A and B are shown apart, each in its own frame.
Chain A
Amino acid sequence: MQITNSASRFTNHVSRITHHVLRIWRKAMAKTAQVEVNDRGLLSSLQEFFRSVLESEGMNAMLVPRHLEQKNVIMPVLISDPEQLEGADPLAPAFPVNGARIVSKLTRKPSGGKIAVVLRPCEIRAFIELVKLKQARTDEILIIGMDCPGAYSNRDYVRFVEEKGEEGVARFCQDLFLGKGTDTERIELSPACQSCEFPIPEAADILIGLLGMDTERHFMVQALTQKGENLFETLGLSEAGEPKERQSAVESFVVERKACRDKMFAETAAGVNTLEKLTAYLSSCVNCYNCRAACPVCFCKECVFVTDVFDHDPSQYLKWAARKGAVKMPTDTLFYHITRLAHMSTACVGCGQCSNACPNDIPVAELFRTVSHRTQEAFDYEAGRSPDEAPPLSVFNENELGEVVGIN
């Protein structure tokens, strides 16, 4: 059993290494352009680029974060009229919803049109998980991924806009990528973003690179897939290499984030390592299930926790209370969270929308990311890394996991 176990682990490693090599190769071969920033700045230049994409042959619409007309709130907007791209703002540190769910709505069946979707790296990774779970399709979309420095929680974004206004929003990305901090010392990125080591949208068709770029002059456009290359050619972009500074900028960015992540893992793990502590951690949970509603990879149409399985008979509550003298209401809080961890932690991309959605500020994302890191490692899996890797609970090898069988 031992030999076959290490054999299957070896196969996993080979597939991982192959994937890694392919990625490096693809990057080396990728068509890269440096697009000039116009005199109205980076955001305006990006809008112009989006316009050229939307107006390109065969493109019907574009999904992009945009300021709403009625209020200065940013939401994903599906745009078919290029004039409506004014107000599109993928640079603002607002992250109201994980776009993977929206793209899933747009692609679960053929729509009859082609859509370009502008997403953050974690949105793309969640989307890949949904594709693997047969909840979304890639056929009619083109993914434009933006380098991502992170975003604020919903509440902090509102504060940020109040304090800094439009000007601050415009400066945000540049400042962060140039290592100047967030400009407002008092407002920190959401905890999920602070500990996210995936700033680069590696699975996009077209990558828009900002990290390590002089974004007052250029931003980078890189085609990472065949679809991306086709668009690259349609747009008539001229090839230029990836700037040398970018690689090292990305590396140091990731190192910093990983250090932050590991510190968060250690603190969270120590904060929940007994049932007593986990109970304290989740004590203000009111079972609203918003974390599940906001989760991009929790895809069940009907969650078991809202079925009549959990419409307990009133007498049942009395029995529970009688058993230990008291029962906290609503019941089943730990049961819900641990079950959700079992059901979706291997697909968790750490986007942090669960924390964003919590009405009582429970650090849900930290808990889920910490546990997920371990469950994903156990299956040599990384959510959103590759469309070719099967979700670990959907497959098995006959000769594996000998260590979990038996009573010794």
Chain B
Amino acid sequence: MTDFEPAIIAFVCNWCTYTAADLAGTSRLSYPKNVRLIRVMCTGMVDPQYVIKAFLEGADGVLVSGCHPGDCHYINGNFKARRRIKLLKEILPQFGFEQERLRLTWIGASDGIQFAEIMRELTVQLRTLGPNEAKLRMII
């Protein structure tokens, strides 16, 4: 299992975390290629089904990341996202998904360094946790 590389799907909001990722890039910071960014306009538009689909397709981790509380471009989308993540963290573990596979973070537009750090840390954590069961077997 030493050569296991986790696949991480990150739903990042256009206004904060995606911009932070952009900043990390223009600042020539590097972060693991395990992370696949999906840009959304707001974390508040991340329907739970997107997260469920990612896991069932074999993602080892899913990150939802947006603006800090109070900074949401749409006023309160991130607060709604937080409740949805809470909901998923209650449902998914009942089917054996470890809570740690699903993460929510606030990364502001100017937090390029923090963005790269969190991606590195997340990759290390998931490498230790091992692969998602759905990746290995046929699920229905």
- Per-position binary interface string of chain B over residues 58-88, scored 1 when its CB falls under 8 Å from any chain A CB and 0 otherwise: 0000000000011000001001101111111
| Cβ-defined contact, B49 with A304, below 8 A | yes
Partner of A378, one of B53, B86, B92: B86
Known: A269-B94, A276-B133, A404-B89. A324 touches B140 (CB 8 A): no
Report the Cα distance A374→B97, complex, angstroms.
Answer: 16
Residues of B within 8 A of A407 (CB): 103, 105, 118, 121-122, 125
Known: A342-B49, A375-B91. A334 touches B86 (CB 8 A): no
Report the Cα distance A405→B105, complex, angstroms.
Answer: 5
Report the Cα distance A379→B96, complex, angstroms.
Answer: 21
Residues of B within 8 A of A400 (CB): 82
**Residues 303-325 of A at the B interface (beta carbon under 8 Å):** 304, 324-325
| Cβ-defined contact, B79 with A279, below 8 A | no
| Cβ-defined contact, A326 with B52, below 8 A | no
- Per-position binary interface string of chain A over residues 335-347, scored 1 when its CB falls under 8 Å from any chain B CB and 0 otherwise: 1001101110110
Residues of B within 8 A of A396 (CB): 76, 79-80, 82-83
| Cβ-defined contact, B52 with A338, below 8 A | yes
| Residue A393 lies at the interface, judged by CB distance under 8 Å to chain B | yes
| Residue A351 lies at the interface, judged by CB distance under 8 Å to chain B | no
| Cβ-defined contact, A275 with B105, below 8 A | no
| Residue A252 lies at the interface, judged by CB distance under 8 Å to chain B | no
| Cβ-defined contact, B104 with A334, below 8 A | no
| Cβ-defined contact, B56 with A334, below 8 A | yes
Residues of A within 8 A of B52 (CB): 335, 338-339, 342
Name the CB-closest residue of B to A406. Answer: B105
- Per-position binary interface string of chain A over residues 292-306, scored 1 when its CB falls under 8 Å from any chain B CB and 0 otherwise: 000000000000100
| Cβ-defined contact, B96 with A275, below 8 A | yes
A–B Cβ pairs within 8 angstroms, 28 of them? A272-B95, A273-B94, A273-B96, A324-B137, A325-B138, A333-B140, A334-B140, A339-B48, A339-B49, A339-B52, A342-B48, A342-B49, A342-B88, A345-B91, A378-B86, A378-B87, A393-B80, A393-B87, A396-B76, A398-B79, A401-B82, A401-B83, A401-B86, A404-B85, A404-B89, A405-B104, A406-B103, A406-B105
Name the CB-closest residue of B to A367. Answer: B94
Interface size on B, residues (CB 8 A): 39
Partner of A274, one of B49, B56, B95, B104: B95
**Residues 342-377 of A at the B interface (beta carbon under 8 Å):** 342-343, 345-346, 370-371, 374-375
| Cβ-defined contact, A378 with B90, below 8 A | yes
Once A and B bind, how many residue pairs between them come within 8 Å at the CB atom?
Answer: 116
| Cβ-defined contact, B83 with A392, below 8 A | yes
Report the Cα distance A190→B126, complex, angstroms.
Answer: 43
| Cβ-defined contact, A273 with B104, below 8 A | no
Residues of B within 8 A of A370 (CB): 94
Partner of B138, one of A274, A324, A338, A343: A324
| Cβ-defined contact, A393 with B84, below 8 A | yes
Residues of B within 8 A of A277 (CB): 96
Interface size on A, residues (CB 8 A): 46
| Residue B1 lies at the interface, judged by CB distance under 8 Å to chain A | no
Report the Cα distance A214→B95, complex, angstroms.
Answer: 46
| Residue A327 lies at the interface, judged by CB distance under 8 Å to chain B | yes
| Residue B134 lies at the interface, judged by CB distance under 8 Å to chain A | yes
| Cβ-defined contact, B133 with A274, below 8 A | yes
* B89 CB, nearest partner CB in chain A, Å: 6
| Residue A226 lies at the interface, judged by CB distance under 8 Å to chain B | no
Report the Cα distance A404→B104, complex, angstroms.
Answer: 7
Report the Cα distance A358→B140, complex, angstroms.
Answer: 17
Report the Cα distance A335→B49, complex, angstroms.
Answer: 8
Report the Cα distance A375→B48, complex, angstroms.
Answer: 14
Given pairs A275-B137, A407-B121, 20 additional interface contacts (CB within 8 A): A272-B95, A273-B96, A274-B95, A274-B96, A275-B95, A275-B97, A275-B133, A285-B140, A342-B48, A342-B84, A370-B94, A371-B94, A378-B90, A379-B86, A392-B83, A396-B79, A401-B82, A404-B82, A405-B82, A407-B105
| Residue A328 lies at the interface, judged by CB distance under 8 Å to chain B | yes
| Residue A283 lies at the interface, judged by CB distance under 8 Å to chain B | yes
* B71 CB, nearest partner CB in chain A, Å: 12
| Cβ-defined contact, B95 with A326, below 8 A | no
Report the Cα distance A60→B79, complex, angstroms.
Answer: 46
* B101 CB, nearest partner CB in chain A, Å: 11
| Cβ-defined contact, B49 with A328, below 8 A | no
| Cβ-defined contact, B96 with A342, below 8 A | no
Residues of A within 8 A of B122 (CB): 407
| Cβ-defined contact, A327 with B138, below 8 A | yes
Report the Cα distance A334→B91, complex, angstroms.
Answer: 13
| Cβ-defined contact, B137 with A276, below 8 A | yes
* A333 CB, nearest partner CB in chain B, Å: 4
| Cβ-defined contact, A341 with B91, below 8 A | yes
* A54 CB, nearest partner CB in chain B, Å: 43
| Residue A278 lies at the interface, judged by CB distance under 8 Å to chain B | yes
